Amino acid sequence: MMEKLIITAAICGAEVTKENSPAVPYTVEEMVREAKSAYDAGAAVIHVHVRWDDGTPTQDRERFRVVLDAIKAACPGVILIPSTGGATGMTPEERLQPTELFPEMATLDCGTCNFGDDIFVNDMPTMWAFGQRMIENHIKPEYECFEIGHLDTILNMAKKGLVPGAPMQFNFVLGVSGCTPATVGNLNYLVKQIPSGSTWTVTGIGRSAWDMAAAGIVMGGNVRVGLRTTSTWARATRPPPTVSWWPRWYASPRSWAARSPTPARPAGSCPWPKRRMSAAYPLKDRTICNEQEGENYETEKIFSAYSRGSHEPGSFLRL
């Protein structure tokens, strides 16, 4: 059977505002609304930045605690990945605050890069500190690579035991202004360099989001999309645009259909016209349906490479 597709919803980010799209969430209630809409549509993972109610980005630990707890309550079993990237200009100490909550996973940015008109600083001492914190707190990183060289850097650090090692989960963020362009060739190169047994996700920024999602699906990877990375297409969409991306994936060529996720539903009630294997819910007791044949299939464990440390493989799925 084809590997299951994992969709990550990046519902907020630190850069986009309600001026870009009115649906960008600021308040706790808005964050839960966007997360729940994505979860109900099939997202297995929510990537979390937080804001104050006026839209100001923050890495405040208590703000993260409130938001993460609220999303967990609304979306049982969802995988939450809080950001340690924060916003450009934040200190490493500010950015590390979510790790004090001992999340299962968190992002770890793999190098300094131009970020539009700004510089996103992740020098070696910063990455050492972030890696050590995640080792100490048993946090599984999602390694964010904005540049081709970032991958080589983090693999060397993992070999030296400076950051958590295999199995590793990578997110290739392509198309940021000033960073590696979002091309299939660049994505293909990066995927070929990762260690055996790793998992990977691709994030296309701006108008490259759809192209990179399509490439990631075809190449057997996973995708991240949402209001963090794309707001221009979403401006004209209703309902809230995090979930409005899903119909675009369902309209993909038939050869992708086996990797398109849908929510768990009773047999015969799937809204999609073709067979949809749900990889979206990482819980053993979830079922998926084949409307064409009226059968139920037990959902397989997914993202097995996310199991952390000495814990039983897949134990992180039991929130």
pLDDT digits (tens, 9 = 90+) for 44-73: 999 999 999 999 999 999 999 999 999 999
pLDDT at position 128 is 96
- Per the CB < 8 A criterion, the answer to whether 224 and 241 are in contact is no
Q: Is 284 left (phi over 0), alpha (psi -120 to 50) or beta?
A: alpha
Tell how far CA 238 is from the center of its chain: 22
Ranges of residues in the chain whose predicted pLDDT is under 50:
228, 231-241, 244-319
What is the helix (H) or strand (E) element at residue 155, kind and residue range?
helix 148-159
Residue 50 is inside which H or E element, if any?
strand 50-51
Report the pLDDT value the prediction gives residue 265, as an integer from 0 to 100.
31
Per the rule left: phi > 0, alpha: psi between -120 and 50, beta: everything else, 220 is left
Q: What percent of the chain has pLDDT above 90?
A: 58
Task: Count the Cβ atoms, other than its own, within 10 Å of residue 123.
Answer: 10
* Euclidean distance between CA atoms 232 and 21, whole angstroms: 8
Beta carbons within 10 angstroms of residue 53's beta carbon: 11
What is the reported pLDDT for 48? Answer: 96
The Cα 213–Cα 250 span in angstroms is 12
What's the pLDDT at 236? 39
Q: Residues with Cβ < 8 Å from 201, sequence gap 6 or more? A: 6, 8, 142, 169, 170, 171, 172, 216, 221, 222, 223, 224
The span from the CA of 75 to the CA of 242, in Å, is 15
Report the pLDDT value the prediction gives residue 2, as an integer from 0 to 100. 56
